[in-house]
Amino acid sequence: MAVGHDGLQDVLLHLPASLRDRAEEMASRECLSLNLFLVMAVAEKLQRLQLSGGQSRDQDLPTARIVAHRPDLIH
Q: Please name which of 35, 8, 10, 30 lies closest in space to residue 20, comparing C-alpha atoms.
A: 35
Q: Residue 35 and residue 3: Cα distance in Å, rounded?
A: 17
Write down the pTM of the prediction.
Answer: 0.65
Instruction: Evaluate whether 32 touches 75 at the Cβ level (below 8 Å).
Output: yes
- List all residues 6 or more positions away from 31 whose beta carbon is below 8 Å from its beta carbon: 74
| Residue range 3-18, pLDDT digits in tens | 666 788 899 999 999 9
| Residue range 37-75, pLDDT digits in tens | 999 999 999 999 988 885 555 455 555 555 555 555 554
Residue 18 belongs to what H/E stretch? helix 17-29
